[in-house]
């Protein structure tokens, strides 16, 4: 079996190559069923149904976005009613300075809710994905560059409970993978 990277450095995991999306999809189902947890697939384009084939759980991002939006909404309410209705009531165009002023306050509530939801969605997604990062161990492998072209990859990481170089590479071979390679760090 090949090894890439600095062979004295700790092992990142074992990666292997597939020739088409269907093979990758079925391999993912079997890896999922074998009980691996720290692993990922890589392909030049999104594959429909892959999240199910990998057994991915629903992301918590949606709940984070809700909290982000709620924060924006409550901020708007506090800042608007707090200042304009209680601390320093200003009568503008004959409009009341109490709860009935709410139509004028809606746009700000709406915008702040949207703004903080969007921020949470974008930055939360980056954080949950561990991005941005400068490099990744998989880039030590030259063949992996084909992932943006026409090849499909699987990598099972060494931090998985069930990981051992030999059993994982045998397992990947049984799934029909080629170019099974041990990836080391730098």
Partner 1 sequence: MSGHEPSQPGSHTFDYKHVGGRFLGLVALAIVAYALVGFGAISNKEQFAFSYLFAFFFFFTICMGGLFWQLVHHAVDAEWSVVVRRQMENLASLLIVMGVLFIPLIFVAPTLWTWMSIDPAHNIVLGEKSAYLNDWFFWIRASFYFSFFTIASLWLRSNSIKQDAEGAAKYTIWNRKITFASLPFFAVCLTFAAIDWLMGLDFLWFSTMWGVYIFAGTALSSLCVIVLIITALRNVGYFKNVISMEHYHIMGKLMLAFTIFWAYIGFSQYMLIWYANIPEETTYYLRRNTETWQIMSTAMVVGHFFVPFALLLFNFGKKRPGFLCGMALWILSMHLLDMYVIVLPALHKAGVQIHWLDVACLVAIGCTLACVFLKRLGSAPLWPLRDPRLAKSIALKN
Q: Which of 28, 61, 33, 34 is nearest to 47 (CA)?
A: 28
| Residue (67 or 127) nearer to partner 1, CB | 67
Instruction: Determine if 106 is a binding residue for partner 1 (CB under 8 A).
Output: yes
Instruction: Determine if 104 is a binding residue for partner 1 (CB under 8 A).
Output: yes
Residue 168 to residue 155: CA distance in whole angstroms: 10
| Residue (106 or 123) nearer to partner 1, CB | 106
Residue 159 to residue 12: CA distance in whole angstroms: 8
Instruction: Determine if 159 is a binding residue for partner 1 (CB under 8 A).
Output: no
From residue 44, alpha-carbon distances to 17, 90, 171 in Å are 13, 58, 24
Instruction: Determine if 77 is a binding residue for partner 1 (CB under 8 A).
Output: no
Of the candidate residues 46, 88, 103, 166, the single one contacting partner 1 (CB under 8 A):
103
Residue 39 to residue 155: CA distance in whole angstroms: 6
Of the candidate residues 91, 93, 131, 134, the single one contacting partner 1 (CB under 8 A):
93
Site size for partner 1 (CB under 8 A)? 9
**β-pair partners for 183:** 4, 13
Least distance (Å) from partner 1 to the CB of residue 41? 18
For the chain, helix (H) and strand (E) counts, in that order, are 5, 5
Helix axes 102-128, 61-80, angle to 10 degrees: 150
Q: Which stretch binds partner 1 (CB under 8 A): 92-100, 127-135, 136-144, 166-174?
A: 92-100
Enumerate residues 31-60 that contact partner 1 by CB under 8 A: 48-49
**Contacts to partner 1 by CB under 8 A:** 48-49, 93-95, 103-104, 106-107
């Amino acid at each position: 079996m090949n090894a890439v990277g600095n062979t004295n450095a700790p092992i990142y995991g074992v990666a292997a190559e597939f020739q088409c999306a269907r093979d990758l999809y079925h391999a993912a189902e079997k890896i999922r069923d074998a009980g691996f947890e720290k692993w990922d697939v890589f392909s030049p384009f999104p594959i429909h149904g892959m999240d199910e084939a990998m057994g991915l759980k629903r992301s918590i991002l949606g709940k984070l976005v809700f909290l982000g939006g709620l924060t924006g909404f409550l901020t708007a309410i506090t800042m608007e009613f707090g200042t304009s209705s209680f601390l320093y009531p200003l009568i503008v165009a004959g409009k009341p300075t109490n709860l009935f002023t709410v139509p004028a306050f809606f746009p700000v509530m709406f915008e702040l809710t949207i703004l903080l939801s969007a921020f949470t969605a974008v930055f939360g997604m980056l954080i949950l994905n561990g991005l941005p990062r400068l490099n990744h161990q998989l880039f030590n492998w030259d063949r992996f560059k084909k992932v943006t072209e026409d090849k499909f990859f699987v990598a099972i990481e060494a931090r998985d409970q069930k990981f051992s170089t030999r059993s994982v590479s045998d397992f990947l071979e049984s799934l029909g993978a080629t170019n099974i390679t041990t990836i080391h760090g730098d």
